[in-house]
Chains A and B, each alone.
Chain A
Amino acid sequence: MSGNEAIAEGAIRAGCCFYAGYPITPQNELIGYMSVHMPENKRIFIQAESEIAAINMVFGASAAGSRAMTSSSSPGISLKQEGISYIAGAQLPAVIVNIMRAGPGLGNIWPAQSDYFQATRGGGNGEYRCIVLAPSSVQESFDMMFSAFNLADKYRNPVIVLGDGMLGQMMEPVWLPVAGCRLPVAVKKPWALTGCKEREQNIVKSFYMHEGDLEKFNLLLQKKYAQIMDSEQRYEEIDTKDAKIILVAYGSMARIAKSAVKSLRAKGIKTGLIRPITLWPFPVKAFQQANRQTGEQANYLSIEMSYGQMVEDVRLAVCGKARVEFLGRSGGGVPTEEEIIKKVNSIK
């Protein structure tokens, strides 16, 4: 199946009970799949009148206690930012899938990773963070939906699954767990709006007007974010132990970087790869560990389908202790294996 379909099927199996979306290329297979299979599984599917309506429907569904999700691609995700900020501010769990295309503006429909800043820095108004997961294969796209919903519920926080047009459109075989596990996972949500039967009134809101209240609430959010940074860093490491140069790439880009590592190793060049799986929290621990293992300091090369966004986090992670180089293309261009090899050879 395609990456888009795998995400949709993963969401359904992970207990997504509510989906609202608006068509946009290159994620149309996702909304298409949901339109058929959500009702088939007695779940709610709404084709909304806009991306703005869709994210606010997710707000409502989540407020009512449902596992809720929306998906879109870059320009549509920009429209959703207001809603994502409200979801973060109201501490609602929600999953937002962004199958990135190239920008700015209408850009084009080719794959890109140029929404990294938007996804990892909040994106909407106010100070908040979304947990950002970056799958790099169709199988991982499927598997990751379980983590996405679980993390959203665990932290009552929006989770962004950040793919790109290449991953969304790519067809790969997917191992699906045995059928019959399509039941929503029951999570207790005492804060949800269900009607105030045998309890006090529940209010879902992000508004704190009294002096000092918002500051107190924001500190609570910061505490939660610190806990997430501490507990949820995820990454994959390949051949970092003895590497003189460690490539850093996520999503589809990591697939190409992986091939480059293999080719470079075959030529005797000690290369490794760190593939961040969580982009926020950024897997700082991977860099600390890589440093320990090499004994001597490796150099890093951040490879992105952008003009240099994740590289800023790599620089923060190595904290000036190593050389950090960058290779990137954007606007639909994808760095090739040959370009990576050439760049590595220019560094070593």
Chain B
Amino acid sequence: MDKIYAHPKSLRNIQTHYCPGCGHGIAHRIIAEIVDELGIRERVIAVAPVGCAVIAYDYWDFDCSEAAHGRALAVATAIKRVRPENIVFTYQGDGDLAAIGTNETIHAANRGENLTVVFINNAVYGMTGGQMAPTTLLNQKTATTVKGREAGIHGYPLKISEMLALLPGVKYIERVSLHSPQEIIKTKKAIKQAFSNQIEGIGFSLVEVLSPCPTYWGMQPKEALDWIKEVMVKKFPLGRIK
């Protein structure tokens, strides 16, 4: 009989600290499976974010660096330049990548650094207690927009992937989602593409992953998946952006 299931070598078999229904566990596993499948566990160096996934290095079993909030792509730029033979990726949330780290994100992309970026968009700040993120939708209630996000006061949800697609240094951008098994399969395919691009030297590749945060959306896990499918994808349409 063929073995069709195994725990990824790159993922520790331990319980995570994530809330029930959170997307991070799925995203971590997808990355671990890809690292195993591409046979790059001994070459890969991850840059973990500040945010809910701050201790991603406790779950992945390969070399990892911390980065200050927003600075993951500056740290990753240097690691990749120093060690071009290694496979370097950042794992960043919306606050990290599209608010405090916007500058580092845009300029690493614009330099065309040969990096892989996994961008987790859950439209909220999780670690700090559910405050507004740059990607929070209009009318979405958060800890700092208790009556809902208003364009005139808080600005619009930032579509940073579309912005980055304008840069000639960027080679691949796709937006995917974790709201169903089918979409999870597509997510894995896209992230694998982003890793393969780096291996082949193609250049800056980013995958934006719409990910549920039931805790700070005030929903049951199933409701959160439905909210992505019915509400979030209307503002953040899925598919290849570049």
**Are A and B physically bound partners?**
yes
> Residues of A with Cβ closer than 8 Å to B?
17-18, 20, 44, 46, 48-50, 52-54, 56-61, 63-66, 68, 82-83, 86, 90, 193-198, 201-207, 209
| Residues of A close to B68: CB separation below 8 A | 56, 59, 82-83, 86
| Pairwise interchain contact A59-B75, C-beta atoms closer than 8 A | yes
- List residues of B (39-72) whose CB comes within 8 Å of A's CBs: 41-45, 47, 54-55, 57, 60-68, 71
A-B contacts counted at CB < 8 A amount to 134
| Residues of B close to A53: CB separation below 8 A | 71, 74, 103-104, 107
| Residues of A close to B77: CB separation below 8 A | 46, 57, 60
| Pairwise interchain contact B65-A204, C-beta atoms closer than 8 A | yes
Q: Complex formed: what's the CA distance from A83 to B104 in Å?
A: 14
Q: Which of A86, A204, A207 has the most CB of B within 10 A?
A: A204
| Pairwise interchain contact B67-A61, C-beta atoms closer than 8 A | no
| Residues of B close to A209: CB separation below 8 A | 55
| Pairwise interchain contact B82-A65, C-beta atoms closer than 8 A | yes
Task: Give the contacting residue for A202; candidates B41, B63, B81, B103; CB below 8 A.
Answer: B63
Q: Complex formed: what's the CA distance from A79 to B132 in Å?
A: 25
| Residues of B close to A197: CB separation below 8 A | 42-43
Task: Give the contacting residue for B82; candidates A64, A86, A195; CB below 8 A.
Answer: A64
23 contacts between A and B (CB under 8 A): A18-B82, A49-B107, A52-B71, A53-B74, A54-B74, A57-B74, A57-B75, A57-B77, A65-B82, A65-B83, A68-B78, A82-B68, A83-B68, A194-B86, A195-B43, A195-B44, A196-B42, A196-B63, A201-B57, A203-B57, A203-B64, A207-B66, A209-B55
Q: What mask results when residues 198 to 233 of chain B are scored 1 for a CB within 8 Å of chain A, else 0?
A: 000000000000000000000000000000000000
| Pairwise interchain contact B66-A64, C-beta atoms closer than 8 A | no
Q: Nearest B residue to A92 by beta-carbon distance?
A: B65
| Pairwise interchain contact B45-A193, C-beta atoms closer than 8 A | yes
With A44-B82, A53-B74, A193-B79 as known contacts, state yes or no: A60 contacts B66, CB within 8 Å.
no
> Residues of B with Cβ closer than 8 Å to A?
41-45, 47, 54-55, 57, 60-68, 71, 74-79, 81-83, 86, 103-104, 106-107
| Pairwise interchain contact A195-B78, C-beta atoms closer than 8 A | no
| Pairwise interchain contact A49-B66, C-beta atoms closer than 8 A | no
Q: Complex formed: what's the CA distance from A112 to B54 in Å?
A: 40
Determine how close the nearest CB of chain B comes to the CB of A89; give it in whole angstroms: 9
| Residues of A close to B106: CB separation below 8 A | 49
Q: Complex formed: what's the CA distance from A54 to B83 in Å?
A: 18
| Pairwise interchain contact A201-B83, C-beta atoms closer than 8 A | no
Q: Is the interface of B mostly helix, strand, loop or mixed?
A: mixed
Beyond A59-B68, A196-B41, 9 additional contacts (C-beta under 8 Å) are A48-B74, A56-B78, A57-B77, A59-B67, A59-B75, A60-B76, A65-B82, A193-B65, A195-B63
| Pairwise interchain contact A18-B78, C-beta atoms closer than 8 A | yes
| Pairwise interchain contact A193-B104, C-beta atoms closer than 8 A | no
Q: Nearest A residue to B113 by beta-carbon distance?
A: A46
Task: Give the contacting residue for A66; candidates B41, B71, B82; CB below 8 A.
Answer: B82
Q: Complex formed: what's the CA distance from A44 to B55 in Å?
A: 30
| Residues of A close to B74: CB separation below 8 A | 48, 52-54, 56-57, 59-60
Q: Which of B76, B81, B103 has the most CB of A within 10 A?
A: B81
Q: Complex formed: what's the CA distance from A97 to B42 in Å?
A: 35
Task: Give the contacting residue for B45; candidates A44, A49, A64; CB below 8 A.
Answer: A64
With A83-B68, A201-B64 as known contacts, state yes or no: A58 contacts B54, CB within 8 Å.
no
Q: Complex formed: what's the CA distance from A201 to B78 in Å?
A: 20
| Residues of A close to B54: CB separation below 8 A | 207
Q: Nearest B residue to A48 by beta-carbon distance?
A: B74
| Residues of B close to A60: CB separation below 8 A | 47, 65, 67, 74-79, 82
| Pairwise interchain contact A205-B57, C-beta atoms closer than 8 A | yes
Task: Give the contacting residue for A193; candidates B42, B63, B67; CB below 8 A.
Answer: B63
| Pairwise interchain contact A61-B66, C-beta atoms closer than 8 A | no
Q: Complex formed: what's the CA distance from A18 to B77 in Å?
A: 12
Determine how close the nearest CB of chain A comes to the CB of B75; give it in whole angstroms: 4
Task: Give the contacting residue for B75; candidates A17, A56, A201; CB below 8 A.
Answer: A56
| Residues of A close to B61: CB separation below 8 A | 196, 201
| Pairwise interchain contact A56-B71, C-beta atoms closer than 8 A | yes
| Pairwise interchain contact B107-A44, C-beta atoms closer than 8 A | no
| Residues of B close to A54: CB separation below 8 A | 74
Determine how close the nearest CB of chain A comes to the CB of B51; give it in whole angstroms: 12
Task: Give the contacting residue for B78; candidates A58, A86, A198; CB below 8 A.
Answer: A58
Determine how close the nearest CB of chain A comes to the CB of B79; give it in whole angstroms: 4
Q: Complex formed: what's the CA distance from A82 to B43 in Å?
A: 29
| Residues of B close to A68: CB separation below 8 A | 78
With A49-B104, A64-B45, A196-B42 as known contacts, state yes or no: A57 contacts B78, CB within 8 Å.
yes
Q: Nearest A residue to B41 by beta-carbon distance?
A: A196
Q: Nearest A residue to B76 by beta-carbon distance?
A: A60
| Residues of A close to B81: CB separation below 8 A | 18, 44, 46, 61
